[in-house]
Structure 1
């Protein structure tokens, strides 16, 4: 008996996934983001029954890797392991080859955590109030370092400059490691650092933590105030990790990926890794992740539009 045309068409569709998935990490191999992505890939492969292959495509603040995903076939076999730099880079770069909203389908967010505001030991400050006082009295003000133009460290420092009305100079580096070296040496004053980057130096007592940038205090540093508690109102900044697919990826595939990613992030070693680095594991639907991404883009675009913020 012949099958109806619809049944034939459905039967011809391969079960997803039927071959390896490529997860593009838009940063070089060996860094913290790459390490989390590799743990995620192994956990996802266990749940999807297919290998998840990491492809590192660093450069242009993550834009090179993001552009590859934006232009990939929307079939669920090429995805982007995105971080908060996806939003911050989009906010200040005027000529990206993709649209941060229209070119992607949000799939899942796996976690988010605060930045730590740390100061050079040579600056001699213990509180944000001390930072503001020094910035207002020192000729030329203060400087702050970052992992590069468009990074979340960069825009968080810019937000402080704008909100507190301080004279501050941005000093970009090619990554967090050289920025940390310069901070320890005293050649730069402040760093809005991700927790994994700076945690060893804080625990060894080499750098003072002045504040956390999230709305709530960090369980890792319960005695450290938030920026709002330190007198900088409405300062709520966090770094995050998530997965994006090309625009027009079928909803059924997005849902399958969302389930696998949420399960992978809730399992070890990913869950423990996030918690140990001061982040909160997160499980969001694709729609909820899209809403959060929209808020992030709006936040950083508002900072970028502020008078005196150079765009590139």
Structure 2
């Protein structure tokens, strides 16, 4: 046998166990890390999609809540896991696209994680307190320009998507409004209801109960289309700001180095689960739009979002902890 032949034979010998593992995958339970406590959007998505994935894979998909640092700790746990497909996560825009530009994190999203699929998107909605004398976007911008530095916007924390959403709003509308960070969405909404702050951008499902009750006034939706759960609320594009697209998103990732064949199998299982009518209905009730794409498309999507928010952070002069 020639040297080339021996090298090829050796390579095939090395690859044989990997190919066999991919063919048999999954042969044991899959751990699905949720980088947040139970009850939030990541957790709801993981449990609904994970249950269907279990049926399709014929192996348990076990949800493992690993909250902390806005999703960073759980995401880092996946980055450090064995790259065998048996530890994956449903992470969100904050940990994957924003935190790396805002603070020191132990992982590089595009180097240490392998995208599987974009699972779902949810638009952010701009709302104001009922005592704010603005009924639409143009009136709100005019009010802010008439009172520079007087209006406040709440967020679920410094560096959160709602924070950067309002920073992008400020840049787009050329207005001066003051950021008031809270420790989560619930206290931000409470102070908005109490008229201690004037406005916020938050996930649509978080705000729907108050919108339906008439205790907060919707101004615009950051999605590309109107939401079926709030059909009367115009998009930011319809309100005259086509560049103000603000959507949170949730995606499935594995550790970098996971064999492509296993990533492909996980993608097939996940996208088939998301195509199930019951899964779609359950998550539509939460205001979520299921996506399901290829690992390659999801990687490009993440890269574009990292670039987008890094520019907002720089242009708005947002203070970082890096």
Alignment of 1:61-76 (within 5 A): 61-76=70-85
| Aligned partner of residue 131 in structure 2, secondary structure | helix
Q: Aligned to 1:136, which of 139, 145, 152?
A: 145
Corresponding residue of 2:237: 228
In 1: Cα distance, 2:269 partner to 2:155 partner:
33
Corresponding residue of 1:308: 317
1:69 to partner: Cα distance? 0.7
1:216 to partner: Cα distance? 2.4
Counterpart contact for 2:97–2:302, Cα < 8 Å: no
Q: Aligned to 1:30, which of 28, 39, 54?
A: 39
1:196 to partner: Cα distance? 1.4
User: What number of residue pairs does the alignment pair up?
Assistant: 309
Q: Aligned to 1:20, which of 24, 29, 37?
A: 29
In 2: Cα distance, 1:139 partner to 1:161 partner:
11
Tell me if 1:92 matches 2:98. Answer: no
Counterpart contact for 1:23–1:79, Cα < 8 Å: yes
TM-score, normalisation: structure 2: 0.89
In 2: Cα distance, 1:111 partner to 1:282 partner:
5
In 2: Cα distance, 1:11 partner to 1:55 partner:
26
Change (3 A) 1:268 1:147: farther
Corresponding residue of 2:111: 102
Q: Aligned to 2:273, which of 259, 264, 278?
A: 264
1:72 to partner: Cα distance? 0.8
Counterpart contact for 1:217–1:225, Cα < 8 Å: yes
1:52 to partner: Cα distance? 1.0
| Aligned partner of residue 305 in structure 2, secondary structure | helix
1:307 to partner: Cα distance? 4.3
1:276 to partner: Cα distance? 2.5
Counterpart contact for 1:88–1:152, Cα < 8 Å: no
Alignment deviations for residues 213-262 of structure 1 (CA, whole Å, 9 cap, x no partner): 12322233333222122222411121111100111110111011001111
| Aligned partner of residue 81 in structure 1, secondary structure | strand
In 2: Cα distance, 1:11 partner to 1:300 partner:
37
In 1: Cα distance, 2:243 partner to 2:84 partner:
40
Larger helix fraction of residues: 2
Q: Aligned to 2:53, which of 39, 44, 61?
A: 44
Q: Aligned to 2:69, which of 41, 60, 65?
A: 60
Counterpart contact for 2:100–2:108, Cα < 8 Å: no
Change (3 A) 1:73 1:307: same
Corresponding residue of 1:121: 130
Runs of 4+ in 1 over 4 A off after TM superposition: 4-12
Q: Aligned to 2:90, which of 81, 90, 95?
A: 81
Q: Aligned to 2:210, which of 201, 205, 211?
A: 201
In 2: Cα distance, 1:108 partner to 1:86 partner:
16
1:7 to partner: Cα distance? 8.7
TM-score, normalisation: structure 1: 0.92
1:86 to partner: Cα distance? 2.4
Counterpart contact for 1:118–1:191, Cα < 8 Å: yes
Counterpart contact for 2:148–2:177, Cα < 8 Å: no
In 1: Cα distance, 2:113 partner to 2:141 partner:
40
Corresponding residue of 1:175: 184
| Aligned partner of residue 309 in structure 2, secondary structure | helix
Consecutive unaligned residues in structure 1, runs of 5 or more: none
| Aligned partner of residue 216 in structure 2, secondary structure | coil
In 2: Cα distance, 1:173 partner to 1:70 partner:
28
